[in-house]
């Protein structure tokens, strides 16, 4: 073999290695919303069965997933949640949101410009008909009221607790260190969820809150017909849902990056950014 052919073969090997490395590190974000319908989502609204979208609360408008209350005479504590069709354990979820218009009639004062991303939640089918919130970890999304400091990507804990600095944290909510976002501007929210170990909140690209060991416990959930989990039970994964709490809100660019998958570098679907192994997912080239 000539020196040219040897160099050329060596170049092809290096190029192939480089392409494989690039492919394995390329993040594969999955769109959770197609901009056309709610085909991968299921609503659960208080006083109604799972799957019943009372008042067309959750709908699609101009390519956005929106929450509306124009069919409500009054809010009447009909807290709602829109659940994604499958659960996740280790992942990053990101979206953009904004609050618009006026709060529904007789919506609670604390729910002004208030919504949330619920993670590590129970399923809509396991919720009681009159249950107000799923047992979950809430990434609370707040809009500014035009004058006061009001952080977003806060933490609230319906039926749950977390640990902070190595100690059990039992208050229902804690504020993040985010800026306040007044008006109807779009805000980027992102959550890093690593099973039962760590959860981090981000607002417009900045980390604003971190905690550990999400678990069952605490109160602030009414209407459970079947108790979910046992106090102190760590939450390793669960459902993801978006919240309706009486103020119109809009969502777009809803995406998720699964961090659980094949971690064998010999597999064709190996990804270097995976955090947690899932050997059953590994696929290999067929031997000739």
Q: What is the pLDDT of residues 158-210, one digit of tens each?
A: 999 999 999 999 999 999 999 999 999 999 999 999 999 999 999 999 999 99
Q: Which residue has the higher pLDDT, 24 or 244?
A: 244
pLDDT digits (tens, 9 = 90+) for 221-234: 999 998 999 999 99
Whether the per-residue pLDDT at 11 is higher than 70: the answer is: no
For 53, the token pair is 């979208």
**53/15: higher pLDDT:** 53
What is the dotted CATH code of the domain comprising 36-260?
2.60.120.560
Provide, rounded to the nearest whole percent, the portion of the chain with pLDDT above 90: 89
Q: What is the per-residue pLDDT for 108?
A: 96
- Say how many C-beta atoms besides its own lie within 10 A of residue 140's C-beta: 24
Stretch 211-223: mean pLDDT: 94
pLDDT score, position 288: 65
Read off the pLDDT band of 286 (50, 70, 90): confident
**pLDDT (mean) for 249-266:** 97
Any idea where the domains of the chain sit in the sequence?
36-260
Diameter over CA atoms, the chain: 84
- Cross-strand pairs, 137: 119
């Amino acid at each position: 073999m000539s020196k040219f052919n040897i160099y050329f073969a060596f170049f092809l090997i290096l190029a192939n290695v480089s392409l494989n490395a690039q492919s394995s590190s390329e993040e594969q974000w999955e769109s959770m919303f197609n901009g056309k319908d709610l085909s991968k989502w299921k609503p659960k609204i208080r006083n109604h069965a799972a799957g019943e979208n009372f008042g067309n609360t959750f709908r699609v408008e101009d390519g956005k997933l929106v929450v509306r209350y124009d069919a409500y005479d009054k809010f009447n504590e009909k807290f709602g949640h829109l659940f994604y069709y499958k659960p996740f354990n280790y992942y990053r979820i990101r979206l953009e949101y904004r609050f618009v218009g006026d709060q529904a009639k007789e919506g609670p004062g604390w729910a002004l410009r208030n919504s949330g991303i619920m993670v590590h939640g129970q399923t809509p089918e396991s919720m009681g008909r009159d249950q107000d919130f799923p047992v979950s970890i809430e990434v609370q999304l707040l809009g500014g009221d035009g004058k006061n400091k009001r952080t977003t990507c806060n933490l609230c804990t319906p039926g749950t607790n977390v640990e902070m600095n190595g100690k059990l944290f039992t208050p229902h909510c804690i504020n993040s260190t985010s800026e306040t976002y007044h008006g109807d501007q779009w805000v980027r929210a992102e959550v890093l969820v690593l099973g039962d170990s760590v959860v981090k909140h981000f607002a417009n690209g900045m980390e604003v809150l971190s905690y550990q060991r999400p678990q069952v416990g605490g109160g602030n959930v009414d209407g459970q017909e079947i108790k979910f989990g046992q106090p102190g039970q760590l939450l390793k994964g669960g459902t993801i849902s978006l919240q309706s709490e009486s103020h119109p809100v809009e969502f777009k660019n809803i995406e998720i990056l699964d961090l659980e998958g094949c971690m064998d570098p010999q597999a064709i679907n190996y990804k270097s950014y995976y955090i947690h192994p899932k050997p059953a997912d590994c696929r290999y080239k067929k031997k000739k």
